[in-house]
Amino acid sequence: MGKLVVVYENTLPGDSKTPLFEESALNNSSFNLLREVLSSNEKELYEFFTRVTRGLKPWGAQRAWIKRLLRGENTVLVAPTGIGKTTLLLVYALYSALRGKRVLYIVPTRSLGDQVFEKLSTMSSSTQRDIRIVYYSSSLQSKRRISILNSITRGDFDILIITSAFLKKLHVLCSYNLDVVVVDDADSLVKNEKNVYILLQILGYDQRDVDLAKRRLELLRKILIDRISSRDVTTLVKELLNIDNELEKSLRSKPLGQLVVASATCYTRGLAGKILRDLLKIDISGITIYGRDITDSYVYVKNTSEAVTEVLKIINKLGKGGILYISPRNPGREVFVEAAKKIQEILVSSGFRVSEATPAAITRLVSGELDFLVGFSSYYSISVRGIDSPRNIKYVIFLGTPVFSNILENFLTNPNSLIRVALEVAEQLGDRVLAREVLKIRKQLIYASNVEKKLIRYCLLGKISENTILDKSKIRELYISIKDLYIRLLPVVKRIIDLRAVLCIGSITLVKSGDKYLAVIPDLMTYIQASGRTSRLLGDKMTHGLSVIVELSEYANFVKSLDLKFKTLDRDMGLKATNEVNFDHEALLLESSRVGDCEASKLKYKSILLVVESPTKAKTIAKFFGKPVARRIGDISIYTIPAKIGDEILEFNIISTRGHVYDLTTKSNVGIFGVEIDRNSIRSVYTTIKRCKICGTQFTDLDACPRCGSNTYTDSKILVYLLQKIGLEVDEVYIATDPDIEGEKIAYDVYTIIRPFNENIWRIKLHEITRSELLSALKQKRHIDCKLVEAEIYRRILDRLVGFSLSIKLQEAFKNRNMGIGRVQGPLLDFIVNRYYDHINSKCKKICVSTSTPLKFVFCTHIDSAELIERLRSASSVELIKLIEDIVEISPKPPYTTEDLLIDASNKLSLQAEAVMKTAQELYEAGLITYHRTDCTYISGTGISIAKTYLQSKSLEYLFTPRHWGEPGSHEAIRPVNPYDSEQLLRALEEGLLPLVIPLTSRHLMIYDLIFKRFIASQMKPYRALRSKFKIVVGGIELGELSVLVDIIEHGFDLVDKPKIYQGLRDLDNLSLSLNCIRVFNSSRILLYSEGDLVSLMKNYGIGRPSTYSKIISSLKRHGYIILSKTKQKVIPTKRGILVHKYLAENYS
């Protein structure tokens, strides 16, 4: 066989003609020149940074941000507090001003404005250039403010510093173009929707742009709702594409400013936030805590006196340099306010300099004139945000956990909260009727959109009329059920709180404070911001900090809930009791990290491009380490999130290919359907893939969609350029496409695309989408598996030479361009058609005998005799005569492989194979199950530990029987990745403890429940049951035998995967039951295949692979060769399918 050569078209730099697995000499002079220019600009800004900061060098994160800033991109600096964001913003503002750009610098508070003005003035002196820095502050005298306003109106400045409050003077700022807008601490700006619209105007966007963006978002929502309802969305999609084109043309025609945003915990809200994201192509929301070097601790106290004692004990150990925060929404606020006053009095009398938080006091603390600050732990508090004093702030003490509190009546209007509380109440009261009712409502709620849930809540709050809901038939019944539950549950919950004082429901705490009933949840973002004052970047290292929460014992759940929320960002983070903290050692760390050279605190940094296949998988991975920042280029999103792994900070830039990037060309002048064969080589010519934006059809070389004729499509050529662009920015590339043969080919394509731009490219495999699996995979990086890639290419070539050729013959014979057949679809169609003929030729009558209470069952059999049928019709009872009784041991089945899952989902849930695989893919990408394309039953030690944890939580550990089910293979069996059954999974989602990037539907839950029960059962003991076999006699005619379980002798996995038990038959030798009815149907002794049966056939005959079973079946449906019967979902060949089968049999058998 000749050498295999892969040819790539539409690949930069130049087209690549590469002998498989050999390095190609891809040199491009223009590309090398571009790289040199970019590198030169970066070096220039590095040197400028060092000069104006008097010796500091930009560290890893700052260098990564500099690359984006110099390309003129809207850039979000998402990083924890104290990591050096503000320093870079100051340097970039000066750098831009020196290059003739007009810069607006927005800060949240006056105190931070004072600091920024002072630092910029100091830095500018190092440039030896006259930079006009103007700072507008409301604290200035009237004449000075008027003078500065006049300067701003004339545009007489290079850098203008303002607070968010100044944005209301929009008319002053819109008389000229602003080249760069810097927003330091974006949270305070975007909390006000008006500020968001003002920001857009300042950047150069007009009202028409905003209106188009609003309409675009409205269309996207309508398309989503209509697709869920299976309505045609073609018209809406066309309007959306027109708006996209108009918006793109508008934005290209005007000069727009560059937005540079810094934040540690930003969250955009409402419609304005979505418009900002849409127009700027970047999401400024982001939460991350990497690099944070803080010991987080807590202590419980009973009263004011104990609180004072504990705080003073800590201060005596640690000395000066702290902030005391009072939690303003904590139900124990009065206790803590009183404690703070006493602590302040004692500290002042002991010679410490203490002050309440004001802008002047913050300035004194930063300069070292104060020892302690006392403030409130609220998100926008002046003492929580914008204080940068790495040397003088060493620790913080919270008097009360930072929390949100809501009136119980309002809290329960949220349908999800109502369901969560109702289930807990039902469980605690042992009310099974209420539990069933609530579960029924929750099942309905799964189908409701967020908009519909919001409407229900507004009605319950009285914000909108109930007629708004009652006129909408879709959610009318749901609203009535929820309202009734709300009315009945509210007084019950209040009575429980009155009796117990505190009702803990996971991360929710219900309490009574004064005459009010409150729902309290932890305020994680405020805690991160406030505690972040203690750990800051000092030179090239992070200072160490300490945080202590002092909480009342009765509210211990506040701390536990905060800890749970903390772990959703980083499972290695968490709070520990102060009796586990060595305060002497902490005191040493607080001092040593602020002086001298502390190697352990120095930050190492690496930027990574992580390539996956699906957007869902990209989002799931990005959320392992916080809330990522998303930037969008065209239709492609890149998620950026930094994380501290060991002693190194990795900045993940995660992008999805959305499947294959290339496919074989269909050009008529390129070999046989893209394959060129000669004596020396086999050349497969690949080109980028196009996808129709109207109907989703995928094609390669045409200029219009072959199905609907639309010339509006995406081309993966854009993805190629983008991968190369980001590949140039990062230090290393990791390709984490699916761990199968298809994924390996995509990985090779990505490698070929990026290789000229970055040599550090690695392949990793993720068998489950979890944080631990990702970290493990990074340590086991490898090169592309050449054999797997070669196998996939040969398979694709074979598809083209056989399947493609046959398809063209079919299209010519039947004069239909939509007809086709694959090399594995043909044999399966043969099975289906032959089975159909066998079914037709084996017709008979089917008798179904139904009994009435107390023992209901249906028994079916086939009979040919008309005389027997008439005798049965006249019978009035069914006789069960016991034949034998024995004890059987029933062992669990191994966990699911792909084919077993498809078979069970088809037979037990009546789901089609395509739907099952799509749902399993979504569950895998959302991080809920392991990889679902597998023929292996092996379970790893991690999987076994998940089963053990679950069984322990249910007090069933005595039934735990660990099994690996074989030897390790390329994959594990399909199993859950968390020890949550479907009920626990929903509760974790309702409390926000398990963030998902997809909405869970009933189908997701059904498939998950199937997988979970099969897996847990596989790690449990067998069960022993009493089995009885009965002869069934009707009207003196023996119809057959019935074997049933009548009792459980010894429990095992039956407690999880419950079998049907007929206990009423246990002690009976004979039983006569009255007949409910006898039905006679036309039937056949040979049944038609179900989709599950087809999967079994393909497995047994070696047709296809587990990963392609559902695709083969769906292809036969798509071509119109088979349909499913309406009630029993049996596979029936169509007239077209039979004709195609006949044509193939006559011409190619």
CB-CB contact of 155 with 233 (8 Å): no
Return the number of other C-beta atoms located less than 10 Å from residue 871's C-beta.
13
Which of the following is catalytic: 197, 298, 379, 931? 931
HEC string of 449-513 equals: CHHHHHHHHHHHHCCCCCHHHHCCHHHHHHHHHHHHHHHHHHHHHHHHHHHHCEEEECCEEEEEE
Which amino acid is located at 491 in the chain? P
In terms of Cα–Cα distance, which of 441, 385, 21 is closest to 187?
Answer: 385
CA dist., res. 791 & res. 193, Å (int): 55
CB-CB contact of 370 with 359 (8 Å): no
For 154, phi and psi rounded to 5 degrees? -80, -10
* Torsion sign over Cα 448, 452, 454, 455: negative
CB-CB contact of 814 with 826 (8 Å): no
Max Cα separation, the chain?
112
Give 499's contacts (C-beta < 8 A, 6+ positions apart): none
H or E element, residue 261: strand 258-263
Q: Tokens 């030729």, residue?
A: 841
For 1057, phi and psi rounded to 5 degrees? -105, 90
Return the number of other C-beta atoms located less than 10 Å from residue 1022's C-beta.
17
Q: How far is CA 1109 from CA 899, 907, 913, 934, 963, in A?
A: 8, 16, 8, 12, 28
Helix axes of 982-990 and 1002-1018: crossing angle, nearest 10 degrees: 130
Q: Is 1143 a catalytic residue?
A: no
Q: Tokens 């002072």, residue?
A: 118
For residue 107, what are the β-bridge partners? 163
Q: Tokens 């004064």, residue?
A: 514
CA dist., res. 397 & res. 386, Å (int): 18
CA dist., res. 3 & res. 679, Å (int): 9
**Measured at the alpha carbon of residue 625, what is the angle toward residues 623 and 626, in degrees to the nearest 5?**
65
Q: Tokens 């980001």, residue?
A: 726
CA dist., res. 782 & res. 42, Å (int): 31
DSSP string, 790-802: HHHHHHHHHIIII
CB-CB contact of 701 with 666 (8 Å): yes
Long-range contacts of 134-137 (CB under 8 A, 24+ apart): 134/159, 134/160, 134/161, 135/160, 135/161, 135/162, 136/160, 136/161, 136/162, 136/166, 137/110, 137/113, 137/163
CA dist., res. 31 & res. 368, Å (int): 52
In terms of Cα–Cα distance, which of 945, 935, 924 is closest to 966?
Answer: 935
By three-state DSSP, how is residue 825 classified?
helix
CA dist., res. 32 & res. 16, Å (int): 17
Q: How far is CA 418 from CA 415, 487, 488, in A?
A: 5, 11, 11
CA dist., res. 552 & res. 797, Å (int): 70
Give 936's contacts (C-beta < 8 A, 6+ positions apart): 897, 966, 969, 970, 971, 972, 973
For the chain, the C-alpha Rg in angstroms (whole number) is 34
Active site residues: 931
